[in-house]
Amino acid sequence: MLRRSWKTEMTVSERRRGMVFFLLYLLVFPRMNAFLQRLWMGDGEVLVAEANVIYYAFLFTLALFVFWSFLKKDFLGLMDWLPENLAAIGVAVLLAGGLQAVLSLLPFPVVDPISLQYAQEYRLAPAPTLVLILLLIPVVEETLFRGLIYGSIRGYSRPLGAAVGVVLYALAVVWRYALEWKDPRYLLLTILYLPMSAALTWCYDRGGSVWSCVVLHGLLNGLILILAL
């Protein structure tokens, strides 16, 4: 399988706007979302799929606004190197999916809240949940973590970009649970998401298009849902 000559399509101005978006995504928007959902549904209620769809549709719209030029050029890159990207998706989904399934059998001291949330929301609202985990979340997270973070560091150092990108995403998936529930044991679940993060980073580096990572991310989210059900 060939690797395309790698270069990011993200402009300097997109990176600057993107870093502001990324910080808001990590530090501000989740708190804003939780506050608005408490107002909407009342304290103590479980977050439902429709509310998360609205939240991620908002983030999806912001991502298109901030990264439109990058996403358009990256899609053209996907079309130019479609066989290479499809091959990268196929290899990554097999390896990461297998490792994810094995790691999910380990006796972690806490239960993975993400898989439980996917399963619960799917039972309550199948269609919104599928839109959420197969499209909205992958586009937002891959644009930020692979396109912005890994792509920015990759231009200076590929190993550093891979190390930061892989660990940062796996940690970002679970850190808010450790903070919100004041239980640092949830940080151990970072291990569970390292194969997924490594596969997504490798797929982007191999195929050179963030859209192949979007497809891969959706497939892996689907596998998490299947295992949870």
What are the pLDDT digits (tens) for 173-223? 998 898 888 899 999 999 999 999 999 999 999 888 999 999 999 999 999
The token pair at 53 is: 């769809």
Task: State the Cα angle at 138 between 165 and 1, rounded to 5°.
Answer: 65
Report how far apart, in Å, the C-alpha atoms of 108 and of each of 38, 96, 103, 120, 178 are. Answer: 30, 19, 9, 20, 14
CA dist 174 and 176 (Å) reads: 6
Q: How many residues does the chain have?
A: 229
- Phi, then psi, of 11 in degrees rounded to 5: -80, 165
What are the pLDDT digits (tens) for 126-178? 999 999 999 999 999 999 999 999 999 988 889 999 999 999 999 999 988 98
The residue among 99, 97, 137, 119 whose CA lies nearest residue 228 is 119
CA dist 228 and 104 (Å) reads: 10
What are the pLDDT digits (tens) for 42-68? 555 545 677 888 899 999 999 999 999
pLDDT given for residue 104 in this prediction: 83
Task: Say what the pTM is.
Answer: 0.92
CA dist 109 and 175 (Å) reads: 15
Report how far apart, in Å, the C-alpha atoms of 185 and of each of 80, 123, 182 are. Answer: 44, 27, 9
